[in-house]
Chains A and B, each alone.
Chain A
Amino acid sequence: MGSTGSGRFSDYSGRAMSESDSGGSSGRNPCDQAFEAILEEVERSSYFVKNGCPPAEGTVLNVTFQQRPAVATDHDEVVGYLPTKFNYIRACLAEGHTYSAVVTSSHSVPIVSVTVDVAPN
């Protein structure tokens, strides 16, 4: 009779995934996923303080860690910080993953704002 997913208990470690979404692993790793983020504290960060403006659209930056996950230049000037929902990136960095961040939007008015696309290297 018709229902799926309720024939047995799901989520045993090591079990292969089946049509009904059970199994040990989804096959997805959050560390491998790209995302977009609006950076925090841009105006107070060292890049803006030094240059008086945020980086231009298209600028390629690095994801680093400075007491919290941050986006910075090759010279370690922090452009801004990733929102707290992306804190897990610190765990990914601890595992050896590295990331680049491309500036997709950059404004000084009406408020200073930088949006980046982050992707694993």
Chain B
Amino acid sequence: MILLVGEVIVDVSFSNDTTKLRLGGVLHACRTLWAMGVDYSLAFVAPEYLSAEVINYASKHGASQVTKIGNVLGSPNVILIKDLQETTSLGYELLLRDQYQCHWLDKGLNWLSQVEAKDAIVFPGQFDLKQVLKAISKTSMQVHIDWANAICDLDDLLSLDRPITTLFDSTSSSHFLDACQEDPNTLCNLIFASSVNSVILKENRGGARFFSTTGESLEVGAQLREVSHSVGVGDCFDSAYIALLSRFGCRAALCYASWIAAEYAVTSFPDDFRAGVKRCLKIPADEITEIPGVRLGWHERPDIHIYIAAPDFDYLDTRTLDVIFSSLKYHNFTPHRPVKEIGQANGGTTIRDRKLLCRQDVELLERCQLIVAVIEIDDPGTAVELGLGAGLGKPVLLFDPKNRATNPMLLGIPVAICHNVDELLVNVFTLFGRKVSIS
């Protein structure tokens, strides 16, 4: 049996003129274990208005016991989500977060200190993690923590009277980006000093890495699918891994977790997700550890320079280019907007200077590993750059969300035609990632 501990959040997303409300936070992990048919209990922190709904939802989705351990005051625990697919930062807006208070329920903490389960997976939110770990110290559970969204310090982990078995983090977390300067080794050194046995660093579309104090390290490829949403996918990965770890061992558990997380990302319909999970679990462990996913580590991506060929002119609407640029940057690639970097010809630009701009653009293009040609209007420069890149043997992706491209050259030269940013990212990761199952 697994104990899940965490905060309940209401995820509010806006997509295609539809507003969707979904119970999130620790409930992403609940859905995962329900879909896998794994026995679990839930200890949750939430505002009072959510209590009945949480108990009802978790009970209908596999929880054998559901206990509230903390009451949230001052904040509704509602997150507005701007970018469901995490093509750029998810753009979380946690409402009234500065007014958050958590009042612990003695009865709940008491219950927590007596839970009999093999594993506890804790998803810290805004509550004081030390209180939870002090209660769990009285049990004999192995403790695993997803630190990615935690606002606590590593020192808080010492409130547990024994080593943390697994600490999960993510390349999109502030801990990794700021405190560890984006260096996995710094992350591990920091974490292992705080009494943690193993670290799993999730690198979104690029796979994940496992590190252990024994010196063992593993890489697992991501299973790239068309993403419907990225909310809770990391929590899903964590829960699936822990649930399968004792049965299959670390290597297969990481692979299954990668597949199950991909199933979570392709749908927000729980029954579809459960059907997908059941299919994945029918794949034998010795096969799933051989099927390659895509592995492109965080630190490998800055070396991938991407030339965005497009009419990037100051008199046009360039919001699409802004999104593509920020999305590639968010995923740690090095995109280039030549017009912005090198310059734009205008009515007064001499022929000599235009030729200079051309030479400089070509030099930049030659230094890049990928061309992304964006079809917004009929722009001869974009078409030339697309052909030049292909002639130099570089892969070209056509970004054509409005299906404008009809010319055979535009359709025949690119290795893929992308209709949205998620498709673009899948193709970039596929082109430059290594095919890795587990290594």
Contacts and interface: CB of A to CB of B under 8 A. Distances in A.
Contacts, number: 106
A13 B271 contact: yes
A6 B291 contact: no
A90 to B, nearest CB: 6
A88 B430 contact: no
A3 interface: yes
B283 A94 contact: yes
Chain A interface size band reads 35 or more
A91 interface: yes
Interface string B1-36: 000000000101000001111110000000000100
A90 B256 CA distance: 13
Contacts of A53: none
B19 A83 contact: no
A29 B426 contact: no
B430 A67 contact: no
B294 A84 contact: yes
Q: Is the interface of A mostly helix, strand, loop or mixed?
A: loop
Q: Is the interface of B mostly helix, strand, loop or mixed?
A: mixed
A25 B272 contact: yes
A80 to B, nearest CB: 14
B269 A90 contact: no
Chain B interface size band reads 35 or more
Contacts of B426: 85
A34 to B, nearest CB: 15
A4 B263 CA distance: 26
B57 interface: yes
Interface in A62-90: 65, 67-69, 83-85, 87-88, 90
A20 interface: yes
Choose among B18, B262, B267, B287 the residue with the greatest number of A CB atoms under 10 Å from its CB: B18
Interface of A: 3-6, 8-14, 20-26, 28-31, 65, 67-69, 83-85, 87-88, 90-92, 94-95
12 contacts: A5-B20, A9-B10, A9-B22, A14-B271, A25-B270, A29-B275, A30-B266, A67-B291, A84-B224, A90-B287, A91-B259, A91-B280
